[in-house]
Amino acid sequence: MKMHTLGHDFVPDPIHAGGLRYHGMSPLVSHIYELGLIEAVAKPQSECFAAGVQFARAEGIVPAPEPTHAIAACIEEALRCKETGEEKVILTAVCGHAHLDLPAYGRYLAGEMEDLELTSERIEAALATLPEHAR
């Protein structure tokens, strides 16, 4: 199966969710994305850390930064359902804990979290380095 990628030479911004700083999606995730079974959503890290704090207060578990992206999307979907009255089961997975990421949460809570945006120019530049068959 093919894997969506920005190329192995791509160097992402230094966001706190280190596991998300990879240049590609797994082949399985790429495949189900191509089938239209999932959609990709980008979230700024300050929104993700806010979701992590909300989750920790509700569930008693401080999540690692990586799953907070999914948690933020789940919260957004739940609020949309609340607004529209739609009943929906929302499922996500939470992996890891934030024991090693507490300084990052501290930076967020101190208002020192910086949101970095991957521009379309950087994406296009990265894709331009890939072989034609890989684009």
pLDDT digits (tens, 9 = 90+) for 28-80: 888 898 899 988 888 998 999 999 999 999 999 999 988 999 999 999 999 99
The percentage of residues in the chain with a pLDDT greater than 90, rounded to a whole number, is 41
Amino acid 52: pLDDT: 96
Amino acid 27: pLDDT: 83
Calculate the average pLDDT of the chain. 85
Burial class (CB in 10 A: 0-12, 13-18, 19+), 120: exposed
pLDDT surpasses 60 at 18: no
Amino acid 99: pLDDT: 83
The answer to whether the CB of 15 falls within 8 A of the CB of 21 is yes
